[in-house]
Chain A
């Protein structure tokens, strides 16, 4: 018996070292999401929940890139929708219509992402704050107008359907796409965490807090602004590619300002500096109506009220919890622990009396 307890003690130490590893949460989350797919194949989960999960994952990838820009670099951009649309059309056209190998498509889209990111980054050097948001908004609208008018490539106002994606010569099923999206989502979370916890993340924060201090410590504003924009654009274009692989339909007028604003809202509602918070925010903005509100009779009858629910939520969170929903959860957890401690002390005093 004693041997067994000793063994358990040692094992628990090792187990703790695994659990405390920063990637553990992400990988566990990914595994749970994959398990949901298994439940779906058994018929225990409805398709709308799977859709909600996929949308949350895809939009979370966009929001992760955006949070590096907003939460760490302190730069607001409203051109996100255009980049996502660009990714979706590039992937759809080159991989779905022309059937290029995957590597070529990836090369083309990342090349485009880097070029676009560099352009916006150079603009951002001279302009800050609200004006940067306005200029990137203009850029996004230019991209949308381009999608609508260039209908040979995108289908214009009628949208375009892309089918028959191939991966290494095989046709891709919806389940394979789900797995690919989950894996890339976990990788994106890990990459974001690594960037945040490295000299680059600290340099971005330094830039946000004080330009002059950052420069005097050897941080080049040009380099890091460009880097932030390039990373966020690459994430957005990657998300666009995953979107077209899952939905198989891209409608050019959809990539408009309201989409970009929704991403901004998701990042702010969740908490701009926490990865868990961003995913929570994306879920509340994009996945809540698909996963939960659809099952509430009141919202089934008045489906227009879902948007109003979202709006009220945003107002409440921004007014009372500027740190985001994640801050709310953290304070709740803290208060719960305190409450349990107090309860325990009260029970002791009731049973044994006060100490002398």
Chain B
């Protein structure tokens, strides 16, 4: 009885740690976004102040009527305006002349006369306009010395005001960001303390408790034990037994119809195998039996898969597809979603940032708002790969990732798979027909034929194995 209670307490502690870690991650990401938003707001506020400041200065300069650079500038811009207007009028005149020549059947000489007349008129107009502009500014610059003094006085005042305003705004935002930072620090410290406490308790509890790892060595993440799957009379997988080690890239190969995809479907529980056990190391202290979990809870244990034929949501954009993949990470309940609560907005902001980061890593950023329907096959495969990364998986299962890709895309895929293994610290388990990719990328390979294991070992061992050759090429 005491043992049972202890085990329950242990489970509860592990559950709490997971929740706290999720909260930690959320806080870190969300506070970053908040600080970023504050910076943006500060920038826009200072810009606005500067704009109004310049506007006011200009107004003062004009009102004072002084012949400083402001008036020169003003005259210049107005001249430019008049000249552009003149240019368009000339072009319109040209068109009119062409039409006139057609309708009235005038010859070149007559046309030239009329055109010159009108052009002269237009030029006169331009000169008149320019005169008016200069005259209006001259009237303003009557008493230059007094005006300059007034202007300088005013501008000094304005500058002081401007500096004061920017100072106030900056202080306000600095205080806000400092508050956010301290808040974040405090919360994170509290959470870290909590996690530490839980871990200490777990250490105490597990000290005098028999290990609950079903005899799984510590470096093994997945063990299949005599897995068998039958469809009617056909035995698709027959007494299959192997271990997948933590952090390796494990390849499963075999001729067509050997039962590779069936093995995947058994692990992710799309099929319920009639006999055989599947152990999975969920975390350091817990080893779970995958047979006991339904399909939709597998992803929460840390296993994600891709599909042989691309299975995306064709009515949603690529970014939304990634958000669907993060479905198990949302913590807001249904009523929170019904009223679009604040927490939902925050969670979405965090997950959106995560999704854009992943898309940037895979070079898919240009496609983020595109509906995936009609995109090239290589990109669809990459989107599926990106989808698996949303949930921080412990093991990624890839079902024929290179099917339908050309040679250069396959080379890039190998690079991406290695990168993912390194950056996300996961185990990758893949089925592939492209022997080049498998031999290039895998640490361990398991060959099966008609559901039975025929060889397991490093790529070199598999290449030199006679049984594998026979299975692929036929016996001589």
Q: Which residues of A are at the interface with B, using a C-beta cutoff of 8 A?
A: 2, 6, 191, 194-195, 197-200, 202-203, 205-206, 208-210, 212-221, 227, 273, 350-353
Task: Report yes or no: A203 in contact with B55, Cβ–Cβ below 8 A.
Answer: no
Contacts of B296 in A (CB 8 A): 215, 218-221
Contacts of A210 in B (CB 8 A): 311-313
Task: Report yes or no: A215 in contact with B95, Cβ–Cβ below 8 A.
Answer: no
Contacts of B42 in A (CB 8 A): none
Q: From DSSP, what is the main secondary structure of chain A's interface residues?
A: helix
B305: interface (CB < 8 Å): yes
Q: How far is the CA of A191 from the CA of B334 in the complex (A)?
A: 11
How many residue pairs at the A-B interface have CB separations less than 8 Å?
Answer: 102
B299: interface (CB < 8 Å): yes
CB < 8 Å: which of B307, B330, B334 contacts A212?
B307
- Nearest B residue to A351 via CB reads B92
Task: Report yes or no: B300 in contact with A212, Cβ–Cβ below 8 A.
Answer: no
B59: interface (CB < 8 Å): yes
Q: Which residues of B are at the interface with A, using a C-beta cutoff of 8 A?
A: 52, 55, 59, 88, 91-92, 94-95, 98, 268, 270, 294-300, 304-305, 307, 311-316, 320, 323-325, 327-328, 330, 332, 334, 337-340, 344, 387, 391
Task: Report yes or no: A212 in contact with B311, Cβ–Cβ below 8 A.
Answer: yes
Q: How far is the CA of A305 from the CA of B154 in the complex (A)?
A: 79
Contacts of B300 in A (CB 8 A): 218
Task: Report yes or no: A215 in contact with B295, Cβ–Cβ below 8 A.
Answer: yes
Contacts of A6 in B (CB 8 A): 52, 55
Known A206-B324, A218-B300, A218-B327; contact A213-B312, beta-carbon cutoff 8 A: yes
Q: How far is the CA of A210 from the CA of B270 in the complex (A)?
A: 13
Contacts of B52 in A (CB 8 A): 6
- Nearest A residue to B297 via CB reads A218
- Nearest A residue to B330 via CB reads A199
Contacts of B339 in A (CB 8 A): 194
Q: How far is the CB of B128 from chain A (nearest CB, A)?
A: 23
Q: How far is the CA of A208 from the CA of B296 in the complex (A)?
A: 16
Q: How far is the CB of A353 from chain B (nearest CB, A)?
A: 5
Known A202-B327, A203-B324, A209-B314; contact A216-B340, beta-carbon cutoff 8 A: no
Task: Report yes or no: A350 in contact with B95, Cβ–Cβ below 8 A.
Answer: yes
Q: How far is the CB of A284 from chain B (nearest CB, A)?
A: 24
Task: Report yes or no: A353 in contact with B327, Cβ–Cβ below 8 A.
Answer: no
* 24 CB-based A-B contacts, threshold 8 Å: A2-B55, A6-B52, A195-B338, A197-B340, A198-B337, A198-B338, A199-B332, A200-B334, A203-B324, A203-B327, A205-B324, A206-B313, A206-B324, A210-B313, A213-B312, A215-B270, A216-B299, A217-B299, A217-B327, A217-B387, A219-B327, A220-B294, A273-B315, A351-B95
Q: How far is the CA of A350 from the CA of B261 in the complex (A)?
A: 67
Q: From DSSP, what is the main secondary structure of chain B's interface residues?
A: helix
Contacts of A2 in B (CB 8 A): 55, 59
Task: Report yes or no: B337 in contact with A202, Cβ–Cβ below 8 A.
Answer: no
Contacts of A214 in B (CB 8 A): 324
- Nearest A residue to B94 via CB reads A353
- Nearest B residue to A223 via CB reads B296
Task: Report yes or no: B344 in contact with A198, Cβ–Cβ below 8 A.
Answer: yes
Task: Report yes or no: B316 in contact with A205, Cβ–Cβ below 8 A.
Answer: yes
Interface centre among A205, A206, A218 (most CB of B within 10 A): A218
Contacts of A212 in B (CB 8 A): 270, 307, 311
Q: How far is the CB of A3 from chain B (nearest CB, A)?
A: 9
Contacts of B297 in A (CB 8 A): 218
Task: Report yes or no: B325 in contact with A198, Cβ–Cβ below 8 A.
Answer: no
Contacts of B298 in A (CB 8 A): 216, 218
Q: How far is the CB of B272 from chain A (nearest CB, A)?
A: 13
Task: Report yes or no: B337 in contact with A352, Cβ–Cβ below 8 A.
Answer: no
Q: How far is the CA of A215 from the CA of B295 in the complex (A)?
A: 6
Contacts of A221 in B (CB 8 A): 296
Q: How far is the CB of A51 from chain B (nearest CB, A)?
A: 31
Q: How far is the CB of B314 from chain A (nearest CB, A)?
A: 6
Q: How far is the CA of A350 from the CA of B95 in the complex (A)?
A: 8
CB < 8 Å: which of A198, A206, A208, A352 contacts B340?
A198
Task: Report yes or no: B328 in contact with A218, Cβ–Cβ below 8 A.
Answer: yes
Contacts of A195 in B (CB 8 A): 337-338
